[in-house]
Structure 1
């Protein structure tokens, strides 16, 4: 199986949107980890007066995490899947959130450069055909010294991390995907993690893209060494 990209991936998420919230809620720590990564943006005063971009917001789990960390921020959620966005916009907390249906690669012509104080991206970059292009775009959308937090499956350096991920996928995630009729999407999930950057490699990618003060922060539980938060700031010239 080749990895799903662009329209094919959006279509798979459209189909999987109905069961997506139930499946991720069954993953221990899923929502708590997103909230921890959102807090790691370090937005002051509950985000009062700040504009935050939630890239790849999906059904809104990351958006809810941002609202918990920064309840006074003005949040814009972006996703390429219409079905996922419909689920997000229907939630009770979604009033006041601006949702944009678009592939992240097409945001340069739709959002003003330097118009966001912070960007959060949850489970996004490994799904992109050109992560470096999107990092350049993100850097351009951030105000000077704007903050970035990326919450992503990025395996650590130990073979144990890869073994745990493959075991969880084979015994839990992919069987669940078959039960909901979304087997292709969850096969993609497994491969997208294995074939993407390790945590140190993604940190280097952020530095090459011009982000400064880049740090890699672990997350607890079974996802230790599998999921990380990456934080950084837009460097000069953004």
Structure 2
């Protein structure tokens, strides 16, 4: 079965929106991990006066993480699924959030313009037809030294972690999702992780997109070796996305556990 893309994927998320949060609730640490990745942006104070873009906000879990960690920030949250976005907008927010229905490649048409002080992208890149284009958009929308956090299922490359991921999907998520009529989406989500970058490859991808000080950071619990945060920043006056430094594409990427 091929992966779902673009309009087909957005339609599948539309249908699954009604039960998505309930399935997410069965994942221990899901919300805590999003908050941890939001803190890893390393933004000062409580975010007052800062503009933050949440790319692929879904039903608003990532947006809620940002709002908790950065209660003073002005948050713009975008998603290509109207159904998911409606659920996000229906949440109670302590501070107004701007929600925008648009795919990443059409943000300018939807009136989403930079510069932003930070871009947060949770569970987005592996679902994108062109993840490099998504990173290029984030780079373009960030202010100089603006921060990027990519929170993603990106496996370590070890067979044990691939086995755990498949066991969780096959033993819990897929049977329940199939009963709910969303089996195609969750099969896509399972397979999209297996076919996507390893954690180290994702770090290199972010570096190739023109970001500096990229770090690949682990997350705890059962998702150790399965979910990672890649944090980086846009340089000021540095190389353009897709170009290479004289030392090669890996020169600006370093694996590590601190930001």
Q: Normalised by the size of structure 1, how large is the TM-score?
A: 0.97
Partner of 1:218: 218
Once superposed, what is the RMSD of the aligned Cα atoms?
1.1
In the alignment of these two chains, the number of paired residues is 237
Is 1:73 the counterpart of 2:73 in the alignment? yes
1:193 aligned onto 2:198:
no
**Contact between 1:123 and 1:153, CA under 8 Å: does it hold in 2?**
yes
- Write out per-residue CA displacement over residues 161-217 of structure 1, whole angstroms, 9 at most, x where no aligned residue: 101111111101111211211000000010000000000001000111010010011
Q: Which residue is equivalent to 1:23?
A: 23
User: Residue 71 of structure 2 contacts residue 95 of structure 2 at CA under 8 Å; is this kept in 1?
Assistant: no
Q: Is the 8 A contact 2:148 2:231 kept in 1?
A: yes
Provide structure 1 residue ranges, at least 5 long, that are not aligned to the other structure.
Answer: none
Runs of 4+ in 1 over 2 A off after TM superposition: 108-112, 235-238
Structure 2 unaligned residues grouped into runs of 5+? 241-259
Shift of 1:95: 5.1
Distance 1:70 1:95, change over 3 A: closer
1:74-106 deviation line (CA, Å, top 9, x unaligned): 000000000000000001117510000000121
Is the CA contact (8 Å cut-off) linking 2:46 and 2:73 kept in structure 1?
Answer: yes
Q: Which residue of 2 aligns with 1:122?
A: 122
Match of 1:63 in 2: 63
Counting only pairs closer than 5 Å after superposition, residues 4-153 of structure 1 correspond to structure 2 as 4-93=4-93, 96-109=96-109, 110-112=111-113, 114-153=114-153
Identify the structure with the greater helix proportion. 1
Q: 1:54 to 1:168 in 2, by over 3 A?
A: same
The separation in 2 between residues aligned to 1:123 and 1:219, in whole angstroms, is: 14
8 Å CA contact retained: 1:108, 1:137: no
- Cα distance in structure 2, aligned partners of 1:148 and 1:68: 18
In 2, Cα distance between equivalents of 1:159 and 1:132: 26
SS at match of 2:59: coil
Aligned residue for 1:202?
202
> Does the 8 A contact of 1:14 with 1:83 survive in 2?
yes
Q: Does the 8 A contact of 1:88 with 1:94 survive in 2?
A: no
After alignment, is 91-100 or 141-150 more displaced? 91-100
Q: Displacement of 1:235 after TM fit?
A: 2.2
2 CA distance for matches of 1:43 and 1:177? 37
Q: Which position in structure 2 is the counterpart of 1:2?
A: 2
CA distance in 2, matches of 1:196, 1:91: 31
The residue number in structure 1 matching 2:245 is none
Distance 1:75 1:159 in 2: 38
Equivalences for 1:176-191 in 2 at 5 Å? 176-191=176-191
